[in-house]
Structure 1
Amino acid sequence: MDVDSERETTLVRHASPRFFADPPHLVEDALAALRLGKHLLLRGPTGSGKTRFAEVLAERLRLEMESVNCSVDLDLEALLGHRTLGIADGQTVVEYVEGPVVRAMRLGRMLYVDELNVARPEVLPILHGALDHRRQLTNPLTAEVVTADPRFCVVAAINEGYAGTSPLNEALLNRFVVFDVHYVQGDALAQLIREGTALSSLPQIDRFVRFSADLVRASEVGELPAEAASIRALLDACDLATQMPPLRAVRYAVAGKLSDAREQDLVIELASSYFGGT
């Protein structure tokens, strides 16, 4: 196997690290809520592992997952399905293709709705019936009443305070139980770096863990935006640091994602105290 192929294989192996919860009982509590028929809202900053958290819950419950990534362009067709032309018995017919919400309800899958608070508020009420005791919705595209399989559950995720987001209305929020997802730190972060990246140097991993703690503190006091402390970005930097000086890796993976030059300079200043120059 050549070097490039070996490197590619390593990255694939680390593509889905374990989810490290803070506090540690978070996963078991979320599983308990889902088994009781509750729907979950994961609330936390970008890059804190909300999507991976949902994947772990689906794996533990042995459920397939349907995903919806919300945007301002999200419409009912993206949720419920669409009509298309097909051929039956040599004739052109109009066929209905199920969307992720209908598939998840009918087949008893987990529905993961990412960035729920980015969607336009007028689109979301279609979910209300599926999320409450009725566990039903009327599909306006087919006039069919869809009743959820008993295994059907919803896990949604939101980033609060980011551009383009809006508060969830009370009727929708009350259909969830809320779990706050924080940036993992300390020993758990070190383990995540070991399992989720190609970085194996223990001294370097320790430096990245301490650097991450500085980023979190700076974001908590308002010196940096929350996204500067993204664990996803930190893991990218750890991978890059196996191929280049760590400070350059931080510049590309962490500082480069910030739009304010002063914030970028602060990230590099913090990183320099651990990784030196260049």
Structure 2
Amino acid sequence: MMIKYQNRDQQLIDDAINIVKLGKNLLLKGPTGTGKTRLSENISDSLSAKQYSVNCSVDLDAESLLGFKTIETIDGVQQIVFIDGPVIKAMKEGAILYIDEINMAKPEVLPILNSVLDYRRKLTNPFNNEVVIAQKGFNVIAAINEGYVGTMPMNEALVNRFVAIELKYIDGETLKQVLIDQSILTDEQDIEKMIKLNELLIKMVSQHQISEEVASVRALIDACDLMTIMPFERAIERALVSKLETDREKEAIRQLFELI
């Protein structure tokens, strides 16, 4: 389902779609929970394009991106075959490749994508020497969480291959529509409570009182669902507070209950 955005946010999603339509690689920048993955899905839906995803981590290697060799029995004979990975599948099918948290990948892994991300849209697979040329419609959307634990600065040559859009936390009417669309909570007063909580969480994040992942839309949706079977305070405790590591952050959020 396409999220209904307010004017400012609708302009953002329109720009994102048009950037991809132009054949530009799109970099989505923003903290956890600002809807980067959802926006990527919306773009693919709008363009009626299939999407392949890569979730980056320090363990990401070339095989995770391009694929791997394996042994299969074909007509009774064992043969070595190559299983295409998400990058090659997206290129061959003219699909969208979504690279999540691209700045968590080791710097030495990503240069393999340089020729894929520039005007060449081409790759020589080092595992089988196949030359892969991207089909029409292929494009790349990547997402980064700047300053997040485990991330590394992106190489300048890599950044220059993207057009960037910065996402902020959603709030107000936009958040209300998301909670209505994506949670099972229907009580309007409870939804307003959650919007107020989100407003206070974002303020605390900006003041560096709590970590940014606390103000996640995913966590708010979980809390809304839990509110259908338990009181507000307990729902927040289960969906947000209990996941935190420091007592200081936990107590800071518990104190918000009185304000709400």
Q: TM-score, normalised by structure 1?
A: 0.90
Identical columns (%): 44
1:143 matches 2:129: yes
- Counterpart contact for 2:4–2:174, Cα < 8 Å: no
Tell me, in whole angstroms, the C-alpha distance in 1 between the residues paired with 2:90 and 2:257. Answer: 44
Does 2:154 align with 1:172?
no
Mapped pair 1:152 → 2:135: no
Instruction: Say whether 1:119 aligns with 2:117.
Output: no
Give the CA deviation at 1:179: 0.9
User: How far apart are residue 184 of structure 1 and its match?
Assistant: 0.7
Mapped to 2, the partners of 1:171 and 1:110 lie a distance apart of 21
Name 2:90's counterpart in structure 1: 104
Describe the SS at the equivalent of 2:147. coil
Please name the residue that 2:257 is paired with: 271
Task: Give the counterpart of 2:186 among 180, 200, 225.
Answer: 200
- Report the Cα offset of residue 181 of structure 1: 1.4
| Contact 1:19-1:49 within 8 A present in 2 as well | no
Match of 2:13 in 1: 27
Are the aligned partners of 1:41 and 1:155 in contact in 2 as well (CA < 8 Å)?
yes
2:198/2:215 contact within 8 Å kept: yes
Consecutive unaligned residues in structure 2, runs of 5 or more? none
Deviation at 1:19, TM superposition (A): 6.2
- Partner of residue 209, structure 2: 223
State the secondary structure of the residue aligned to 1:24. Answer: helix
Alignment correspondent of 1:132: 118
Counting matched residue pairs gives: 259
**Which residue pairs with 1:6 in the alignment?**
none
Residue 18 (str. 1) matches residue 18 (str. 2) = no
- Mapped to 2, the partners of 1:271 and 1:225 lie a distance apart of 18
CA RMSD of aligned residues (A): 1.3
1:71 & 1:20 partners in 2: Cα distance?
Answer: 31
2:4–2:177 CA contact under 8 A, matched in 1: no
**1:186 equivalent among 154, 168, 172:** 172
8 Å contact kept, 2:103–2:154: yes
**Preserved CA contact (<8 Å) 1:58 1:64:** yes
Q: Quote the Cα distance in structure 2 between the aligned partners of 1:129 and 1:207.
A: 49
> How far off is 1:199 after superposition?
0.9
Work out the CA distance in 2 between the residues paired with 1:163 and 1:222: 15
What CA distance in whole angstroms lies between the structure 2 residues aligned with 1:17 and 1:26?
Answer: 14
